[in-house]
Amino acid sequence: MQKIIILDFGSQYTQIIARKVREIGVYAEIYPYNISRDVLLQLAPAGIILSGGPNSVYGDNAPHPFPEIFQLGIPILGICYGLQLIAILNDGVVDKSAAREYGRANLIIDKPNLLLDGISSSQVWMSHGDSLKSLPAGFEIIAHTDNSPIAAIQNANQNIFGVQFHPEVHHTEDGKTILENFARRICGIKTNWTTHSFIDNAINTIREQVGDDEVICALSGGVDSTVLAVLLLNAIGDKLHCIHIDTGLMRQNESTKLMELFDIHFKMSVELINGSDIFLERLDGVTDPEQKRKIIGKSFIDLFDIGAKRFNNAKWLAQGTLYPDVIESVSVKGPSVVIKSHHNVGGLPEIMGLKLVEPFRELFKDEVRAVGRELGVPDWFVNRHPFPGPGLAIRILGEITPERIDILQKADTIYIEEIKKAGLYDDIWQAFAVLLPIKSVGVMGDERTYESTCVLRAVTSVDGMTADWFPMPYDVLANISSRIINEIRGINRVVYDITSKPPGTIEWE
């Protein structure tokens, strides 16, 4: 498969570059900026993208690639900091004192060229302090904006291009065309990275990797582990053993629905372990969020270990590690790699002496969803919002009791039903209800009530790292509020959370 290698200089947008390139059907991988020449050549990229970054190219610790990168004969596109690197490493000059430019700008094309072909003039997104003062040797200006006389450059002979703006971000109108021109026309990439090709490859790789061994998979009920199990089922059939632990802290009827999905839809039996009592007992009286997480993580491992004993021929554990986790572990300096991940089965492979099979190591979340759809996982399942491993335990603030779990499950069900009815579910990245440990006074009929408060939270996000609160229409909020208060005993007040992340987190605990 022909591919683009993206060198990460620490931009917050590096992952978005990879996603955008893959969206046009071209395979892209991210590597640290200080990759060696030999490793890069072994990867045989058809093109290289130098990402943006927070540094100044002249700074003391400014990250630079190995110097001969421009002499390899491989097409290069530098974005923002990447453009400035092209400049200073080829005798150009970057102006450190130029005014900062942040936000939209109008791109004006100065000269016909392959990179910007098909664009007449369009809105681009700028985010830089430094800018180019003089051109590097052998380069020419191909576009400018009002504030950046040098907004895009090329050395057509060497196939090296640079843009001061960010083609990967949504606000750059023709960003996709620019990346497509680079990948297809300049780098000449013909192969197509599709979900279908991923599945075929992954199935072969899994078969080669595990041979005749048996594999265990922990099914949490989330999208990643479900799609993982279905992929493995396609690859190794009945050598796959799935275990699902019902923690009693799932959404309403979630474990039942999951069992049905596998039983009926995929004709596959899943080992169900009912751990509700154990989880409840161990969480009794616990109110500290981190302690809740620790108890749940430990109990999960204990129960999983017991369940896995049934399959003592198994040598492998399947894990739904995604690409952002992998990039994090090959950490480069800079903000692009500060990805928070929650490993719910962390420690399991070591404890159980199992080897890991991780077929999603190169996928983004959206791509896992696409793989799921292609493998026949129903839409209602694939499009589900993320759900945290500790489940409702971190949405019930304060003590966890069977009564409070029941109240929150009901509120959450009504909330999700109503946003689906309003056609908003797919516009929201994550929506859920939270139960507060405080009571307040209300009045229902002629009676005074003194009951709990329920918080509704809904956010938009790309990866959960940052999030905006969702502007929920008032009429939808009104419906949800009256249904929750009328239908659920124990809640007499509903509030909507209007905190973004940062400064808030998505979950309340």
The binding site for ligand XMP (CB under 6 A) comprises: 293, 342, 344, 386, 388-390, 430, 464, 501, 505-507
Residue 425 beta carbon to ligand XMP: minimum distance, rounded to whole angstroms: 15
Q: Is 242 a catalytic residue?
A: no
Nearest to 94 by CA among 148, 131, 144, 54: 131
Which of 33/387 has CB closer to ligand XMP?
387
Residue 489 beta carbon to ligand XMP: minimum distance, rounded to whole angstroms: 27
Which of 314/405 has CB closer to ligand XMP?
405
The residue annotated as part of the active site, out of 101, 128, 144, 166, is 166
Cβ atoms within 10 Å, residue 106 = 12
Task: Go through 242-252 and write b for each residue having 16 or more CB atoms within 10 A of its CB, e for each that does not.
Answer: bbbbbbbbbbb
Q: Give the DSSP per-residue string, 405-473.
A: HHHHHHHHHHHHHHHHHTT-GGG-SEEEEEEEEEEEEEEETTEEEEEEEEEEEEEEESSSSSEEE----
The residue annotated as part of the active site, out of 101, 168, 254, 509, is 168
Q: Is 166 a catalytic residue?
A: yes
Q: Is 454 a catalytic residue?
A: no
Residue 466 beta carbon to ligand XMP: minimum distance, rounded to whole angstroms: 9
Q: Give the DSSP per-residue string, 337-370.
A: G------TTTTHHHHHT-EEE-TTTT--HHHHHH
Which of 52/388 has CB closer to ligand XMP?
388
Residue 467 beta carbon to ligand XMP: minimum distance, rounded to whole angstroms: 7
Nearest to 387 by CA among 241, 217, 255: 255
Sort residue 331 into left (φ over 0), alpha (ψ -120 to 50) or beta: beta
Residue 496 beta carbon to ligand XMP: minimum distance, rounded to whole angstroms: 17
Tell me if 204 sits within 8 A of 305, measured CB to CB. no
**And the tokens for 395?**
């949405």
- Residue 86's H or E segment, with its range, is helix 81-88
Classify residue 439 by burial, with Cβ atoms within 10 Å: 0-12, 13-18, 19+. Answer: middle
Which of 152/368 has CB closer to ligand XMP?
368
- β pairing state of 314-318 and 214-218: parallel
Which of 30/394 has CB closer to ligand XMP?
394
Residue 453 beta carbon to ligand XMP: minimum distance, rounded to whole angstroms: 19
The DSSP code for 108 is: E
User: Who contacts 447 (Cβ-Cβ below 8 Å, separation ≥6)?
Assistant: none
Tell me if 101 sits within 8 A of 148, measured CB to CB. yes
Tell me if 492 sits within 8 A of 451, measured CB to CB. yes
Residue 18 beta carbon to ligand XMP: minimum distance, rounded to whole angstroms: 20
Which of 314/506 has CB closer to ligand XMP?
506
Which of 193/425 has CB closer to ligand XMP?
425
d(CA 10, CA 331): 10
Tell me if 434 sits within 8 A of 457, measured CB to CB. yes
Q: Which residues are catalytic?
A: 80, 166, 168
